[in-house]
Amino acid sequence: MAETKREIERKYEATGDTGLPDLTRVPGVSSVVDRGVMELDAVYYDTPDLRLAAAGLTLRRRTGGSDAGWHVKFPVAVGIRDEIRAPLSDTLPDALAGLLRSRVRDAEVVPAVRLRSSRDVRHLLTADGTLLAELSVDTVHAERLPDGGEASWTEIEVELADGIDDETILDAIGKRLKKAGILPSEAPSKLARALAETGAEPRPPATPGKPGTAGAAVLAYVREQAEAIVALDPAVRRDLPDAVHQMRVACRRLRSAFKTYRAVLDRDATDPLGEELKWLAGELGAARDHEVLSARLRAALDEVPKTLRLGPVRARLRIWTAARGRDARRRVLDALDSARHLALLEALDALLTDPPLRKAAGRDAREVLARAVLKDHDRLAGRVDHALALDPGQERDLALHAARKAAKRARYAADAARPALGKPAKKLAKRVKAVQSLLGEHQDAVVARATLRELAIQADAAGESAFTWGLLHGREEAGAADGERELPGVWARASAPGIRAALRH
């Protein structure tokens, strides 16, 4: 079974003659204990075109040391990575292969680099013997596989101990090393250095489109969202917080961009992709919507006084949440494991490699993007006006939901245009986001009422009191009505003439 370890470390340049300073002068470090030398032998795997390395990912099979086995490393921030480990075996474990699927897809994973290291380890301890950090002096020999170049170097690595997340310790150690003339390494990892020194670095992606044109601006945004979908795939599989939501947003942003910027990208190519993005967002939505609704209902119950919580309401909500949650999670994983998902990723790559640019793509980005943003804003205005003209009830609820979708598209359009249009696009996006948030809260209340009615029916059928569910239903109705009364004012700010005029200049 795979396990995850948060790796927080710093790397420094060294030679075989580099001497370490007295690290007991680092605040908090009472003693430095020599743990001896261990021999490590690791083979790093990648696709022939080095897709994993290009994304900053690491896949290795290592023997020797205390953590022999298969390791996958995902970057979290500078100097911080999550290392997912699996026991040593002859072939890549399925649990790790799934985490790399959005990058590797159907390509073969082959040995790319072999690193053999002699690791001289020291433990930095507090006065009570608590391990703060591990410092190692690594003498490394790299060999490009199958028959490439070789390189050797020495480096110092300082890593926080498990359970220690105070990076000020690393800062203090770094100051002592700097005073001794030991400087930070320019390479982010041993693999990156090995690839650079053996002449096998991954190639950066091409950036089609002439700078300053609408085509370049739109393609940069499309690439950003497509990359987010790929990068979030393993995060969703690992069930990391907010990963499903962020991946769903990337799908929606990309689909929205295809619609908004049809003058730039040929819709004959993007419409089919839009349908596939709609499918993926829908599969992700089952989990995300359940997550949001469950949290909303739990919070609503917390606000009800104990004297008004009649019957086993919390137990019933837990049962409902658990049953729906398992189904939603399974649906997400099935989608990510499907051939349809891989085909979508390949199609997005193909579009970015050979983009279906139209005539407007060669024109000035500010002119083309401003026109597209204003068109989406007009569309939103029509839907808001239509919804406000209706009487409260189901028909208005549906119209407000349609307006919410239009607000989301207008906001995404403005976000995509920000690099070209600057502050006016940022301001419009902020104002429209307020409209979207208000309409989103209204729609959440509509969905919550339907679920509360379902829970009330279940409670009644089981001989339980349905009073509390009815109480919450009434509160959701009142909240939705409050939102409808606020909408005209919020919309007035988002549709002010000055907001639109600024986009034209």
pLDDT digits (tens, 9 = 90+) for 309-341: 999 999 999 988 887 777 888 899 999 999 999
**Pick from 331, 363, 395: which residue ends a domain?**
363
pTM tops 0.85: yes
What is the pLDDT averaged over residues 81-103? 95
CATH number, position 337: 1.40.20.10
- Tell me the per-residue pLDDT of 372-404, one tens digit each, with 9 for 90 and over: 999 999 999 999 999 999 999 999 999 999 999
Same domain, 105 and 180: yes
| Dihedral of alpha carbons 331, 333, 339, 344, sign | positive
User: Are 423 and 291 within one domain?
Assistant: no
pLDDT for the residue numbered 320: 86
pLDDT value of residue 438: 97
Residues 214/365, Cβ–Cβ less than 8 Å: yes
pLDDT of amino acid 324: 77
- 153/227 same-domain check: no
- pLDDT, tens only, 118-177: 999 999 999 999 999 999 999 999 999 988 889 999 999 999 999 998 999 999 999 999
Q: In this structure, are 148 and 51 located in the same domain?
A: yes
Same domain membership, residue 470 and residue 374: yes
Percent with pLDDT over 90 in the chain: 86
Q: Is the pLDDT of residue 1 over 60?
A: no
Do 358 and 375 fall within a single domain? no
Mean pLDDT of 206-219: 85
Compute the distance between CA of residue 143 and CA of residue 115 in angstroms, rounded to an integer: 7
Q: Into how many domains does the chain fold?
A: 3
Q: CA 369 to CA 123: how far, in whole Å?
A: 57
Residue 142 domain-assigned? yes
Average pLDDT rounded to a whole number, residues 402-421: 96
Q: Do 223 and 173 sit in the same domain of this protein? A: no
Residue 400, domain member (yes or no) = yes
Length of the chain as a residue count = 505
Average pLDDT over residues 253-280: 97
DSSP 8-class letter at 357: B
Would residue 115 count as lying in a domain? yes
Residue 339 to residue 344: CA distance in whole angstroms: 9
Residue 202 has pLDDT above 90, yes or no: no
CATH number of domain containing 79 = 2.40.320.10
Residue 108 has φ and ψ, to the nearest 5°, of -80, 140
Q: Are residues 351 and 384 in the same domain?
A: no
Banded pLDDT at 208 (limits 50, 70, 90): low
Do 445 and 421 share a domain, yes or no?
A: yes
pLDDT of residue 329: 85
More confident residue, 122 or 286: 122
Question: Above 90 in pLDDT, residue 195?
Answer: yes
Q: By the 8 A CB rule, do 169 and 133 touch?
A: yes
Residues 6 or more apart from 173 whose CB is under 8 A from it? Answer: 10, 23, 26, 29, 124, 133, 135, 158
Same domain? 29 vs 119: yes
Residue 157 DSSP class = E
Residue 430 lies in a domain: yes
pLDDT score at 322: 84
232 plus 350 within the same structural domain: yes
- Residues 297, 323: one domain? yes
Task: Tell me the residue range of the domain where 486 lies.
Answer: 365-505
pLDDT of residue 207: 67
Query: What confidence category does residue 472 fall into, taking pLDDT thresholds of 50, 70 and 90?
Result: very high
**How high is the pLDDT of residue 45?**
97
